[in-house]
Amino acid sequence: MIWKRRGKSPETDAAIDAGSVDDQSKATSPERAETNVMTKSPSAQPMPSTGLSVAGEQRPSFLDRLWASSNDPMRAETMPRFIASASDEVENQGEGVLMRRRIALRDAIGASQPVTDREHFAGRHDALRQLIDAVEQQRLHVVVYGERGIGKTSLMHVFADTAREARYLVLYGSCGTETHFANLFRAFAARIPRIYHRAVVPNSPEAEAGDSFDVMLPPTFGPRELAELFSDVTGTRVILILDEYDRVTDAGFRRDVAELVKNLSDRAARVQLVLAGVAQNLDEILGYAPSVRRNIVGLPMRPMTPEEVRDMVGIAESAADLEYADAATRLITVMAGGSPYLVRLLAHHAGLAAIDTRSAIVTEAHATTAVERVLTEWNASLPRRVQQSLSREDARAKWPMLIAAARAGSAGDGLFTAEEVVTELEDGRNAVVIEQELRSFVGPNDLLEAEAKEGETRFRFRYPGVSALLLMSSAMARLSA
């Protein structure tokens, strides 16, 4: 597992509406995309890991320089400033061409939003093909799952576009912790025109009224009543996308959705569900639902291949009229560890670094600058006291152990045991010694927190951004070694 899973911050929770439903035009709107900006905090990123032992690894000197001075030039260099007016007009005419390239680069591979159109969607042909096949050939319901930031929402948008071309009615809904079954599906029903009901005759008063399916729902309803209504859909096929399904905390909601899937399948209704969410396996996202296993297909999303990374870099190249040297692409590929988010982040920064130096070629040096800028930004986003904890001598001395801890926490909920750190570290020391070392970083103002459960102590990085930084610097140290 090369991905780091993390919970969302309370701020992120607040930023995303609970159980909203959009039709496709809204799903691809900037407003919709905007909500995801919040989810891409430095603390929520998948991280590269090489799978090798970390014993003996050194802290990169770049970090020492970073922490040596709070007036680090790198910080000044990355101080944000607007390069164009809000209407995208370039202010500085003399630098106009460079500015336009910067804007084109941002629009092509800016990392903060999911992809909403095919033009900017790299690779993933196999995932898209499997999804279409499951919906069209097998008439199944689908669960798309994978690590945070692996590209689920982007795939949903592009799939929705493709299905709409084939005249499917595609409705997109985003789940939240408070999502309520009846509210969510009533909102979906409100987007299905009543003319698609088999009992509604064209040109009849009902058809002319411009109503939707929601008017045919009783005040309270469950999955059975809903499936009954949906089984009367005719003249089109409906796809309901439930994104961010992992955020639903109510087990009752998941049971109802499973029941709906079962009922829709039994009635061969022309309504199919596509669920998407963060999970490592189908059970984790679906909950215990043996009755629907025959009606649902799970589609895991995997890390991007080097060819797909190349494809993504190609999008940046044609948008901003740049050329990424092979060595630069290779470095980005290794550092990103298959995360489309990190590929975009690094390729974007590397492209900007090249434009800054008026070079049309993005070199390995530009890619290295990109890694350093990303590390600088992540470091800056950490509280000052956490930066101090990281920069102290003790942390330098125990650097390999900290890297091993970051790796050990890179799956699931971020928790890890001393045993797991021992496995990653492989330096001959036992769990008792490692546990003691881990404890030396536990504290309200320190790097780790500890919890005792069922006789076992489990640790977690207090700020997930710390493990992101550790893993990226580890990958960096390995590359330079």
Residues of this chain that bind ligand ATP (CB under 6 A): 36, 39, 111, 113-115, 121-124, 148-154, 278, 312, 340-341, 344
Sign of CA dihedral 433, 437, 443, 449: negative
**Cβ nearer to ligand ATP, comparing 192 with 309:** 309
List the one residue out of 281, 300, 291 whose CA is nearest residue 260.
291
Residue facing ligand ATP at closest CB distance: 151
Contact between 339 and Mg ion per CB under 5 A? no
One of 43, 45, 153, 368 touching Mg ion (CB under 5 A): 153
* Binding to Mg ion in span 58-97, by CB under 5 A: none
**Cβ nearer to ligand ATP, comparing 111 with 200:** 111
* Binding to Mg ion in span 350-369, by CB under 5 A: none
d(CA 325, CA 327): 5
Sign of CA dihedral 37, 41, 44, 48: positive
Residue 115, contacted partner among Mg ion, ligand ATP, none, CB below 5-8 A by kind? ligand ATP
Please spell the DSSP secondary structure of 95-140, one letter per residue.
THHHHHHHHHHHHHH-TTS---SGGG--S-HHHHHHHHHHHHTS--
Compute the radius of gyration of the chain from its Cα atoms.
Answer: 25
The answer to whether residues 66 and 74 touch, using CB atoms and an 8 Å cutoff, is yes
151-159, 229-237, 418-426, 458-466 -> range binding Mg ion (CB under 5 A): 151-159
C-beta neighbour count of 110 within 10 angstroms = 14
Least distance in angstroms from the C-beta of 8 to ligand ATP: 8
**Cβ nearer to ligand ATP, comparing 5 with 270:** 5
Residue 414, contacted partner among Mg ion, ligand ATP, none, CB below 5-8 A by kind? none
**Cβ nearer to Mg ion, comparing 150 with 257:** 150
Least distance in angstroms from the C-beta of 40 to ligand ATP: 7
Give a three-class secondary structure readout of 179-210: CCHHHHHHHHHCCCEHHHECCCCCCCHHHHCC
Contact between 154 and Mg ion per CB under 5 A? no
d(CA 205, CA 200): 9
**Cβ nearer to Mg ion, comparing 247 with 270:** 247
Residue facing Mg ion at closest CB distance: 153
What phi-psi label fits residue 307: left (phi over 0), alpha (psi between -120 and 50 degrees) or beta?
A: alpha
Least distance in angstroms from the C-beta of 429 to ligand ATP: 36
Structural tokens at position 235: 């003249």
Least distance in angstroms from the C-beta of 471 to ligand ATP: 17
Least distance in angstroms from the C-beta of 125 to Mg ion: 20
> Where do contacts with Mg ion occur on this chain (CB under 5 A)?
152-153
